[in-house]
Amino acid sequence: MKKIVIHKPGGYERLVIEEHPDPVPGPDAVIIDVAAIGINYADCVTRMGLYASAKHYVGYPITPGFEVAGTVRATGAAVTDLEPGTRVLAVTRFNAYATQLAVPRSQVFRLPPQLQFTSAAGFCAVSLTAWFALFELAHPHAGNHILVHSAAGGVGGMLVQLGKLAGCRVTGVVGAAHKVGTVLELGADAVIDKSTQPLWLTAERLAPDGYDIILDANGVATLRQSYRHLAPVGKLVVYGFHSMLPQRGGVPHKLRLALDYLRTPRFSPFDLTTRNRSVLGFNLSFLFDQTTTLQLGLQQLLDWLEEGKLQTPGVTSYPFESVAQAHRDLESGQTTGKLVLTCTH
Ligand SMILES: NC(=O)c1ccc[n+]([C@@H]2O[C@H](COP(=O)([O-])OP(=O)(O)OC[C@H]3O[C@@H](n4cnc5c(N)ncnc54)[C@H](OP(=O)(O)O)[C@@H]3O)[C@@H](O)[C@H]2O)c1
């Protein structure tokens, strides 16, 4: 098998393709011949050496990646309900950037028949993140007004769809004009293009009383204003910090990181109470220790997909060998939907 290994954090040249022995299934494991691998912004942060759970759970060297689609190659003795050749998708805490993957049975799901490998590979991580943020943390009510930052991206696009599924009014924010159509197609009621419109003046015009829920993975660039634009009893869900990171070059600037860290707002419990606002945060890596919630969320999302209530993100595919270009493109901030690596066997 081949896998992509990062021996030391750094730029794109750290993504090294290596040959390794094929995995052998443990009793409860499923070995998958990987056809496609979902790329997440967290993989870039792992490559840069700034992803806390990469250090916590694995350390370096590390093979990044959280999700694959492919066919079952072999199963362990305790797995009796999946035949070799079955089309599946799977989630994994790291190790997905590989042509074969061993995962526990509980993290493997049958592929809905209509789904292609590339669409399936990019579905799990972003939809689970959006599902957890909205339904496990923010608990939207029909009629709520939701603001989604980076709404044309992987997680952002899913938040738009799930917000509409919950009966909410959804305003998406994007950083470039070519993304506006993508967000409208996903069902958003309004889109703010912050490259041409004043973000917060437009946001105030669209929701004069503030937003019930704001979902923010920008970090320092917008967090303070996101908090200010909550309605009473509003919730700010924080789930990333990408505005601290470079859009080209692939290596974070240490001084800028330190300054942005200092500039990131700290929310006062007194202010939260007086103003009736909540700030929530989470990291999906920890969900792998809560198998029941993970399975519940993914099954619900797959059901919505089969019922036609949810669509998979638009996908841009790259060959396995072009992983560096895929990271470069994702970090540029110009992509929409999901980026996926494809494997040939
Ligand atoms: N907490 C969790 O468990 C969890 C799980 C998954 C993802 N995440 C986070 O969610 C965010 C989105 O992840 P994704 O994989 O779906 O990526 P993505 O949204 O497809 O791509 C990143 C988007 O962020 C925006 N952006 C703003 N500043 C940027 C910068 N300096 N560098 C690059 N992009 C920048 C760009 O959109 P606009 O310019 O249009 O805003 C860009 O298209 C990331 O911050 C990621 O770390 C968190």
Q: Which atom of ligand 1 is nearest to the CA of 337?
A: 20
* The predicted structure's pLDDT at residue 131: 98
Where helices occur in 90-198 by DSSP H, the ranges are 117-121, 124-131, 154-165, 180-185
Q: Which two tokens stand for residue 308?
A: 């036609």
* The predicted structure's pLDDT at residue 345: 80
Where helices occur in the chain by DSSP H, the ranges are 41-48, 52-57, 117-121, 124-131, 154-165, 180-185, 199-206, 223-228, 254-263, 269-275, 291-306, 323-331
CA distance 296 to 308: 18
* The predicted structure's pLDDT at residue 143: 98
Helices then strands, counting H and E runs in the chain, come out as: 12, 15
The residues, ordered by sequence, that sit 6+ positions from 42 with a Cβ below 8 Å of its Cβ are: 51, 64, 66, 125
* The predicted structure's pLDDT at residue 288: 85
Say if residues 341 and 34 touch (Cβ distance below 8 Å).
no
Q: Whose CA is nearest to atom 45 of ligand 1?
A: 240
Cβ neighbours around 95 below 10 Å, total: 19
**What predicted TM-score, i.e. pTM, was given to this entire model?**
0.97
Q: Whose CA is nearest to atom 27 of ligand 1?
A: 243
* The predicted structure's pLDDT at residue 49: 97
* The predicted structure's pLDDT at residue 291: 85
CA distance 35 to 340: 10
Q: Which residues of the chain have pLDDT under 50?
A: none
For ligand 1, whether the C-beta of 222 sits within 6 Å is: no
Residue among 150, 248, 332 to mutate when testing ligand 1 (max atoms within 8 A of CB):
150
Query: If you ran DSSP here, which 8-state letter would residue 178 be given?
Result: G
Q: Whose CA is nearest to atom 13 of ligand 1?
A: 41
Say if residues 173 and 190 touch (Cβ distance below 8 Å).
no
pLDDT in tens, 255-286: 999 999 999 999 999 999 999 999 999 999 88
CA distance 222 to 200: 10
* The predicted structure's pLDDT at residue 169: 98
* The predicted structure's pLDDT at residue 289: 86
CA of 79 from ligand 1 middle (Å) equals 36
Q: Which atom of ligand 1 is nearest to the CA of 152?
A: 40
